[in-house]
Amino acid sequence: MIVELPITQEGPFFGFGTELDGVTYRFAFRWNERISQWVLDLSDGDGALVVSGVKVVIDTPLFDRFRGRAAVPPGEVIAVDTENGGRDADLEDLGRRVRLYYLSSDELA
């Protein structure tokens, strides 16, 4: 199953909790001015950090390099440019032009 992550951008720092494959996770996003890119941290439902500093790059599996860590979701998160322009999200684009989708482990099989 493919699920759009519930991003409601509220400035250069925001976060939300959501359930992926039956497990609750917390996403925290921040705009990195130095590299002009969004980065995210992922925590488990108890607030323990799972991964940190992941760059939000379109058409790239965001958690692929962390595969094998016990707390990483079994599926994958991918950022998509809905205008097909091939551009990563600018400060105002995340959740608007660029949306994040979770592909469940069943979708990846």
pLDDT at 68: 84
**Which residues does the chain have with pLDDT short of 70?**
none
pLDDT at 13: 96
pLDDT at 25: 97
Over residues 48-73, the pLDDT tens digits come to: 999 999 999 999 999 999 988 889 99
Where helices occur in the chain by DSSP H, the ranges are: 105-108
**Which string of b and e fits 14-36 if b means at least 16 CB within 10 Å?**
beeeeebeeeebbbebebeeeee
pTM for the model: 0.92
d(CA 5, CA 28): 12
**Strand, coil or helix: what is 39?**
strand
